[in-house]
């Protein structure tokens, strides 16, 4: 007797996808940026760098005496213009809010959390994993942390390139820059951390995996 294979479950139609509400988006952006700020603080406490615009700004802050939050906000201005032209004002509005939240939370970390002696390997790995989870939350709520995030989101939506891999390539450039100011051990540790952060995105942020996060 011939048997037929069971039919695959029907794909979710746009009308059946439960989108996040405004309150859910706001709570998620606050949570994601706070988590990311904590992760970056751990990385900075170990003297390492991470990827993305945040990592680039951490590297710049080694040369400048300006606060991380102020430099981070300034560097994101040109990427905000790009996002406005390609993604529209709603995405830019959420991204600007996320950048401002991250900048503010970054300024508060050292005031509320004083770290003593930390193991560099543990701090870098945990910091990058935590930052990756925070960034994942932000991306899933149709926002970004500006900078490289904007490029990665556009590449995934328009070219089909996985955002995690795009960020990994861009982040590698930041690690290469860190060779100008850091020793070989710190660079190697930073590279390991960047890989950990982007692995979180590669495994969890892909088209179709979380329908509510797909382009609206």
Q: According to DSSP H, which parts of the chain are helical?
A: 22-45, 52-61, 68-75, 77-87, 89-112, 120-140, 148-159, 163-178, 184-204
pLDDT value at residue 34? 96
Domain positions in the chain: 21-203
Average pLDDT for 91-105: 90
Average pLDDT for 113-125: 87
Average pLDDT for 157-178: 84
Average pLDDT for 99-119: 87
Dump pLDDT digits (tens) for 167-177: 888 888 888 88
pLDDT value at residue 1? 46
pLDDT value at residue 55? 75
Kindly give, in sequence order, each residue whose CB lies less than 8 Å from that of residue 34, ignoring residues fewer than 6 positions away: 101, 105, 134
- pLDDT > 50? residue 131: yes
CA distances from 83 to 29, 34, 159 (A): 18, 23, 16
Bigger pLDDT: 72 vs 98? 98
- pLDDT > 80? residue 134: yes
pLDDT value at residue 137? 94
Phi, psi of 35 (to 5 degrees): -65, -45
Average pLDDT for 82-93: 89
Q: Report d(CA 69, CA 108) in Å as an integer.
A: 10
């Amino acid at each position: 007797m011939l048997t037929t294979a069971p039919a695959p479950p029907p794909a979710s139609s746009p009308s059946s996808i439960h989108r996040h509400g405004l309150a859910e988006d706001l709570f998620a952006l606050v949570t994601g940026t706070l988590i990311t700020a904590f992760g970056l603080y751990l990385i900075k406490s170990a003297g390492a760098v991470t990827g993305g615009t945040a990592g680039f700004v951490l590297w710049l802050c080694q040369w400048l005496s300006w606060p991380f939050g102020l430099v981070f906000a300034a560097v994101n201005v040109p990427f905000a213009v790009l996002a406005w032209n390609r993604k529209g004002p709603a995405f830019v509005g959420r991204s600007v809010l996320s950048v401002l939240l991250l900048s503010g939370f970054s300024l508060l970390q050292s005031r509320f959390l004083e770290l003593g002696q930390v193991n560099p390997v543990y701090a870098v790995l945990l910091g990058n994993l935590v930052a990756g989870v925070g960034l994942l939350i932000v991306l899933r709520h149709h926002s970004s942390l500006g900078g490289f995030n904007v490029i990665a989101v556009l590449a995934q939506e328009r070219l089909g390139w996985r955002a995690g891999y795009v960020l990994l390539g861009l982040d590698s450039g930041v690690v290469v820059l860190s060779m100008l100011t850091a020793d070989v051990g710190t660079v190697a540790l930073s590279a390991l951390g960047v890989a950990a952060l982007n692995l979180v995105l590669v495994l969890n942020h892909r088209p179709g995996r979380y329908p509510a996060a797909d382009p609206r």
